[in-house]
Chains A and B, each alone.
Chain A
C-alpha cells in the first residue's frame, strides 16, 4: 500500500533536454531514407540506359517505358491481376462485412474461437497456406484458374476486412440502429440506410487493403497458378529470374504511380486518414 503511494507521489515526468529534438529528427530522417532508398533506386534504374540492372546510373533513357506495352507477359499479367484483385475485393467485402457484423452484434457459442479463426490467416505463413491450397485445389481441378487464385486471395484478405469493419462497428452507436428499427425500418433497411453508412470508412479501408494485398500477392499466385495463369507479380518474378534488364524497374515505377494515384483519389474523395 505504501509503495503504491510512493509511486503516486513521484514527481511528474520531466521532458528531456534540448539535445532530444535534433537527435530525434535525425533518427527520423535516417529511418525514412532506409525505407525509401529501395524505391529511389528503382526510379533511378528505370531511366538507366545500361542494358543490365546496375548502380550507379550511366545514362538517361525512356526506352524501358516504351517497351512495356509491347511486352505481352506484362500486359497479360496485369490483366489477370486486375481481374483477380477486383473480384477478390468484391467477394471479400460481401463475406467479410457480414462476418464482422455477426461477431460484433451477436452473442453465440464459440464466438471467441471463430474470431481467432477469422484472423488466423494473418498468423499462418503464406507459403504454408499456399501449399495447403495446392493440395486442396489440385483434386478439384482449380489450379491455374481464376477461381483458384481468387479463393487463395480471399483467404488472406479476409482478416483485413473483418478487422477494419469490426473497428468501425465498435465505435458506431448501436442505438442508432435501435432508433431506426423503432421508427419502422426492417432489418435490411437498417443495414442499408444506417449500419452501412456508419461503418463506411472501415469497409472502404478494408476494400482498399484487400485490393492492394491481392494486387501485390506473389507466393499463393505462384503456387496455385504459376504455370498456367500467372499474375503480374508472378510474371515479374519469372522475368527477373530470366533476364536482368531495367524493364522491371520501369514497370515498378508504373505500379508505384498507380498506387499513388489510388491513394490520392481516396484522399480526395473521403480522406485517407479517416479510412485507415
Chain B
C-alpha cells in the first residue's frame, strides 16, 4: 500500500553535495565512511548530509544500505573509518558516546528490565546529576508527554509493546538531547498501532522541536513523518530531499522504484516543447516502438536517452482514447479492486504497466479488454541521470 503524499509545492532543495549552510545546520555529516574490514566494500561511503535544527530526517533504504550504521556512528556507538560528524558547529567525531548528550530509541526499546518505568526514565537525569526533586518533576513531565504518567511504578515487562515504545521515547527526550535518534522504532508494533505511534512521535517531535534522525525501511513512514528523506542505497545517499520531491521528482531509478510504485519507459528525448513549472521543460519524446509522447524534465535533455517515470495513479486506463490525448494501446491483464482504488496491470507489447484509479466510473475496463493508457505531460518525469546498464 502506498500513501500518496500531500502535494506540497515542489520547492527546490539544495542537492546533497552543496553543503553551503554549515553554520545554520544542527548536524553536519561530512564524508562519513565506515568499512567493517579492509578490502570490503564500505558500508557507508563518503556520506555528506546537513540536518536543520528542529527537522525530522528519515534515513530510508533497504536493509544493508548503511542507514543503521550511519545512525550508530552519529550516536557514537561505532567509530567511523573516516569523515566527521559536526553538531552545533562542534566536531564530535572523537567524543565518547556517553559525552554526546544524545537520546536514542532502539528497535528493541532497550528498556532496563530490572528497573520500573520511572527509574528507566530517570536514568539519564541521574547520570547528569540532576537534583532528585527536579528529577521527579522532569520524569513526571516526560511520562505525561507520552500519556503514561499513571504507569510510573510498573515493571517494564508488564507493559505492552506500544507502552514500552512510549517509555523509551520519554527516556530519550527527558534529558533534552542534542539529537534524537530513532532506530526503526515502529517495526516491532502491529500495523494499527504503528499508524497511531507514527503521528504521535511526529507530534511530540514537533512540540519538543527535537532535531531527529529516523532510520526506517518503510517508505510510508518516511513520507508521512519526515521533513527530509535521505534515500540510501549501497552506502550512498541517492537523494536527499522533501518527501514530495522524493516522490514526484526522483533523481534516480532506484529512488523512483523504492518509493511507491513506478512505471519506467525508456525514451529518446526529441525536442523541447515549452516551459514547465519550477524551471522544468516539456519535451517531445519517442518511446521505443510505441510512438511519440510528452514528458517533463530538467532543462537540456533534448537529444539524449532517458528513462520516464510515471506513477500508476497518474496513468489513466480507459476503454476509449480521449480526443487529443497521446495514448498507449494495451490489453488489460489483471484488475484488482481494493475498495477505494482499482488497479490495472496492462500488457503493452512486451511491457507490463500499472495504472490506478480512485473511483470506478462507467468507462472502467475489465480483464481482457483492449484499453488506452494516457497521462498528463507534467506527470511523466524524465530521470535526470543517464540510463544505467540495460534496465527495462
Chain A residues with CB under 8 Å of chain B are 173, 175-176, 178-186, 189, 193-194, 197-198, 200
Contacts of B175 in A (CB 8 A): 183-184
The answer on a CB contact under 8 Å between A198 and B127 is: no
Taking the closest CB of chain B, its distance from the CB of A240, in whole angstroms, is 47
Bitwise, B50-83 to A at CB < 8 A (1) or not (0) is: 0000000000000000000000000111000000
Q: Which of A176, A182, A184, A189 contacts B112 (CB 8 A)?
A: A176
Bitwise, B76-101 to A at CB < 8 A (1) or not (0) is: 11000000000000000000011111
Cα A182 to Cα B110 with chains together (Å): 12
Contacts of A198 in B (CB 8 A): 113-114
Contacts of A181 in B (CB 8 A): 76-77, 97-98
Cα A180 to Cα B175 with chains together (Å): 12
Give the nearest-CB partner of A196 in chain B: B114
Chain B residues with CB under 8 Å of chain A are 75-77, 97-104, 106-108, 110-114, 123-124, 127-128, 171, 175
Cα A194 to Cα B107 with chains together (Å): 18
Taking the closest CB of chain B, its distance from the CB of A274, in whole angstroms, is 13
Cα A183 to Cα B105 with chains together (Å): 11
The 9 closest A-B pairs by CB, nearest first: A184-B127, A183-B124, A175-B110, A179-B110, A197-B114, A175-B106, A181-B97, A176-B110, A182-B104
A-B contact pairs, 22 of them (CB 8 A): A173-B110, A175-B108, A176-B110, A178-B75, A178-B97, A178-B110, A179-B110, A179-B111, A181-B77, A181-B98, A182-B75, A182-B76, A182-B77, A182-B102, A183-B98, A183-B124, A184-B175, A185-B98, A185-B127, A189-B127, A197-B112, A198-B113
The answer on a CB contact under 8 Å between A184 and B110 is: no
Q: Which of A178, A180, A197, A200 contacts B123 (CB 8 A)?
A: A180
The answer on a CB contact under 8 Å between B100 and A182 is: yes
Taking the closest CB of chain A, its distance from the CB of B179, in whole angstroms, is 10
The answer on a CB contact under 8 Å between B98 and A186 is: yes
Q: Which of B98, B106, B113 contacts A184 (CB 8 A)?
A: B98
Chain B interface mostly = loop
Contacts of B101 in A (CB 8 A): 184
Contacts A175-B107, A179-B171, A183-B127 known; 14 new A-B pairs at CB < 8 A: A173-B110, A175-B108, A175-B110, A176-B111, A178-B104, A178-B110, A179-B104, A179-B106, A180-B112, A182-B102, A182-B103, A182-B104, A184-B124, A189-B127
Taking the closest CB of chain B, its distance from the CB of A195, in whole angstroms, is 11
Cα A189 to Cα B113 with chains together (Å): 16
Taking the closest CB of chain B, its distance from the CB of A131, in whole angstroms, is 45
The answer on a CB contact under 8 Å between B98 and A182 is: yes
Cα A184 to Cα B128 with chains together (Å): 7
Contacts of B97 in A (CB 8 A): 178, 181-182
Contacts of B103 in A (CB 8 A): 182-183
Give the nearest-CB partner of B106 in chain A: A175
Give the nearest-CB partner of B75 in chain A: A182
Cα A182 to Cα B106 with chains together (Å): 11
Contacts of B127 in A (CB 8 A): 183-185, 189
Contacts of B104 in A (CB 8 A): 178-179, 182
Give the nearest-CB partner of A178 in chain B: B77
Contacts of B102 in A (CB 8 A): 182
Contacts of A180 in B (CB 8 A): 112, 123
Give the nearest-CB partner of B103 in chain A: A182
Give the nearest-CB partner of B181 in chain A: A182
Cα A197 to Cα B120 with chains together (Å): 14
Taking the closest CB of chain A, its distance from the CB of B111, in whole angstroms, is 8
Interface centre among A181, A183, A184, A194 (most CB of B within 10 A): A183
The answer on a CB contact under 8 Å between A178 and B106 is: yes
Contacts of A183 in B (CB 8 A): 98, 103, 123-124, 127, 171, 175
Contacts of A184 in B (CB 8 A): 98-99, 101, 124, 127-128, 175
Cα A189 to Cα B98 with chains together (Å): 11
Contacts of B77 in A (CB 8 A): 178, 181-182
